[in-house]
């Protein structure tokens, strides 16, 4: 089952793969026409009631497949108010071909007549709230009529975000929905057909620009609403935690703090005035620090644990103890990964190993990315956590659902790119489900690396990625 907004992600991913929405609309329209044939004999009277969005567009396409019916096509509103180019192009095609179309200016002009079948294509996944006019009047007429009511995608008035049905929704006899069923359809007293509209499986498997649609930023948000990240890293190394923390800011987090041993804290601060550094005693993370860090972590949306911590026994012991105390979302990277298989934690972990680290954790890998995806999925299920396994094709799995990211290039084998990825994942995990955070982070950091290499060739360094992350996250072009 897919919600309306998930459908939007998949649909834009299909466009990114070369199957644009207009092509999908042609398939949808064809499927609507097939459903008409299934419920009305050739020659029967069929009235199409089209809204001004793409739901209406589907039915305007269907009209071209229904020449052997006694057809009427009603547009609710003026053609100038059609909201998308592809729906308007399909309206224009009906005009050029001189189909019998009518415009309904307002509710008082709506007259359904007495057709054998009515196609309800007023509103689909674009609805918000109860039906307004003239849709409300049209819906009441459809529901009151003797006609068979065939709804396109969802009955107009059903909100595919959560399955709620408006009081004035169309009472459909049949629904032809696209690609996958939608929330609320199974509760209806209507026959539901799911039509394949030619969306490739890859649109759901591969992370593509449609996934960026999940990113939103509330204009009314305050400092902190978009995430506070705590990076626990550093000791033997200083660059890694600084990279992760700066990447978390580039990933959209509002506040990023770094907890690090006192001797390296100043150096980490020196890399960027944007960071807040919280020093603790000693040269490396060790068990005595855990109490304070656990309290600090509880005040953050996500924890990024591992960058530059090193693998001293005391450090790994402290990592395990911290995870045992923590019940939020933590991105675990680098040396901290080795602790994960044996740790008992209520936290949601997003582990970001490369393939060697994966094997070190007890997982298996394969040169064939499809096999690798299966292996990662079953290992994620064993661990009970989300994995983001880095490679030429990154694999993200929560043990049930698995995605593959194809952005990135061989220039990114340079040191520090993993720290950037962990930081961006930590930022996104403040506002997204872990699996989406990991998928989008892999896509955007890979895309950032591709943009840098496109511009300047190989020889990129991890700091180059930082500036390139925001455009990779936020500036994808969407089409209709």
Ligand X SMILES: NC(=O)C1=CN([C@@H]2O[C@H](COP(=O)(O)OP(=O)(O)OC[C@H]3O[C@@H](n4cnc5c(N)ncnc54)[C@H](O)[C@@H]3O)[C@@H](O)[C@H]2O)[C@H](O)CC1
* Binding residues for ligand X (CB under 6 A): 7, 11, 21, 24-25, 28, 51-56, 58, 83-84, 123-132, 135, 152-153, 178-179
Task: Count helices and strands (H / E) in the chain.
Answer: 15, 18
User: Of 77-136, which residues contact K ion (CB under 5 A)?
Assistant: 120
Provide the minimum distance between the beta carbon of 58 and ligand X in the complex, in angstroms, as a whole number. Answer: 4
**In terms of DSSP H, where are the helices of 159-213?**
202-205
- Residue 30 has a CB neighbour count (10 Å cut-off) of 18
**What are the tokens at 176?**
């032809």
Q: Is there a binding annotation on residue 225?
A: no
Q: Which does 365 bind (CB under 5 to 8 A by kind): K ion, ligand X, none?
A: none
- Residue 219 has a CB neighbour count (10 Å cut-off) of 5
Q: Is there a binding annotation on residue 54?
A: yes
Among 156, 315, 329, 355, binds K ion (CB under 5 A): 156
**What are the tokens at 43?**
């020659």
Provide the minimum distance between the beta carbon of 394 and ligand X in the complex, in angstroms, as a whole number. Answer: 25
Which among 20-28, 74-82, 148-156, 200-208 is the span making contact with K ion, rule CB under 5 A? Answer: 148-156
**What are the tokens at 16?**
């990114």
Provide the minimum distance between the beta carbon of 55 and K ion in the complex, in angstroms, as a whole number. Answer: 5
Among 24, 49, 142, 152, binds K ion (CB under 5 A): 152
Q: Quote the DSSP letter at residue 478.
A: P
Whichever of 127 and 290 has its CB closer to ligand X, that residue is 127
Cβ atoms 289, 269 nearer than 8 A: no
Q: Taking CB under 5 A as the rule, does residue 244 contact K ion?
A: no
Whichever of 24 and 284 has its CB closer to ligand X, that residue is 24
Cβ atoms 326, 316 nearer than 8 A: no
Provide the minimum distance between the beta carbon of 199 and ligand X in the complex, in angstroms, as a whole number. Answer: 6
Whichever of 151 and 365 has its CB closer to K ion, that residue is 151
For residue 75, give the nearest of 29, 96, 106 by alpha carbon.
106
Provide the minimum distance between the beta carbon of 377 and ligand X in the complex, in angstroms, as a whole number. Answer: 26
Q: Is there a binding annotation on residue 221?
A: no
Q: Which does 135 bind (CB under 5 to 8 A by kind): ligand X, K ion, none?
A: ligand X
Q: Which does 156 bind (CB under 5 to 8 A by kind): ligand X, K ion, none?
A: K ion
What are the angstrom distances between the C-alpha of 299 and each of 230, 329, 344? Answer: 9, 12, 21
Whichever of 14 and 473 has its CB closer to ligand X, that residue is 14
What secondary structure does DSSP assign to 369-417, as a single string?
Answer: HHHHHHHHHHHHHHHTSEEEEBSSSEEEE-SS-EEEE----GGGGSTTH
Among 27, 151, 246, 329, binds K ion (CB under 5 A): 151
Sort residue 158 into left (φ over 0), alpha (ψ -120 to 50) or beta: beta
Instruction: Strand 402-405: give its sheet, edge to edge.
Output: 276-280, 255-261, 228-232, 302-305, 329-332, 348-351, 386-389, 394-397, 402-405
Provide the minimum distance between the beta carbon of 260 and K ion in the complex, in angstroms, as a whole number. Answer: 56
Provide the minimum distance between the beta carbon of 58 and K ion in the complex, in angstroms, as a whole number. Answer: 9
Annotated binding-site positions for K(+): 55, 120, 156
Q: Which residues are annotated as a binding site for (6S)-NADPHX?
A: 54-58, 124-130, 153, 240, 308, 354, 419
């Amino acid at each position: 089952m897919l919600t309306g907004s998930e459908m939007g992600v998949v649909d834009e991913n299909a466009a990114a793969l070369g199957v644009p929405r207009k092509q999908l609309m042609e398939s949808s329209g064809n499927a609507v026409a097939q459903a008409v044939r299934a419920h009305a004999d050739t020659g029967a009277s069929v009235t199409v009631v089209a809204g001004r969005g793409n739901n209406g567009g589907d039915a305007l396409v269907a009209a071209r497949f229904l020449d052997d019916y006694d057809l009427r096509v009603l547009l609710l509103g003026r053609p100038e108010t059609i909201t998308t180019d592809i729906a308007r192009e399909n309206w224009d095609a009906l005009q050029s071909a001189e189909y019998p179309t009518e415009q309904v200016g307002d509710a008082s002009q709506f007259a359904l007549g007495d057709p054998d079948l009515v196609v309800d294509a007023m509103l689909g996944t674009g609805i918000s709230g109860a039906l307004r006019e003239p849709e409300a009047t049209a819906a009441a007429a459809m529901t009151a009529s003797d006609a068979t009511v065939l709804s396109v995608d969802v009955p107009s008035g059903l909100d595919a975000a959560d399955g709620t049905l408006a009081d004035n929704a169309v009472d459909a006899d049949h629904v032809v929905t696209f690609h996958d069923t939608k929330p609320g359809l199974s509760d209806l007293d209507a026959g539901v057909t799911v039509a394949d509209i030619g969306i490739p499986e890859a649109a759901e498997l591969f992370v593509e620009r449609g996934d960026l649609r999940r990113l939103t930023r509330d204009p009314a948000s305050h400092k902190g609403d978009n995430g506070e990240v705590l990076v626990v890293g550093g000791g033997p190394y200083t660059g890694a935690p600084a990279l992760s923390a700066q990447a978390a800011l580039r990933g959209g987090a509002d506040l990023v703090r770094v907890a690090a041993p006192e001797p390296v804290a100043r150096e980490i601060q020196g890399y960027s005035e944007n960071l807040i550094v919280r020093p603790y005693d000693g040269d490396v993370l060790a068990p005595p620090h855990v109490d304070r860090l656990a309290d600090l972590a509880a005040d953050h949306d996500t924890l990024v644990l591992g960058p530059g911590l090193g693998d001293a026994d005391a450090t790994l012991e402290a990592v395990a103890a911290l995870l045992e105390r923590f019940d939020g979302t933590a991105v675990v990277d680098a040396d901290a990964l080795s602790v994960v298989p044996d740790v008992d934690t209520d936290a949601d972990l997003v582990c970001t190993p490369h393939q060697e680290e994966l094997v070190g954790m007890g997982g298996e890998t394969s040169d064939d990315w499809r096999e690798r995806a299966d292996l990662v999925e079953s290992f994620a299920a064993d661990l009970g956590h989300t994995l983001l396994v880095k490679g030429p094709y990154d694999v993200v799995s929560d043990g049930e659902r698995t995605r593959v990211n194809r952005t990135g290039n061989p220039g990114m084998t340079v040191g520090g790119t993993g720290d950037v990825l962990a930081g961006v994942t930590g930022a996104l995990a403040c506002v997204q489900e872990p699996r989406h955070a990991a998928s989008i982070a892999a896509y955007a950091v890979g895309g950032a690396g591709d943009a840098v290499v496109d511009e300047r060739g190989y020889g990129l360094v991890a700091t180059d990625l930082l500036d390139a992350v925001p455009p990779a996250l936020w500036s994808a072009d969407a089409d209709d």
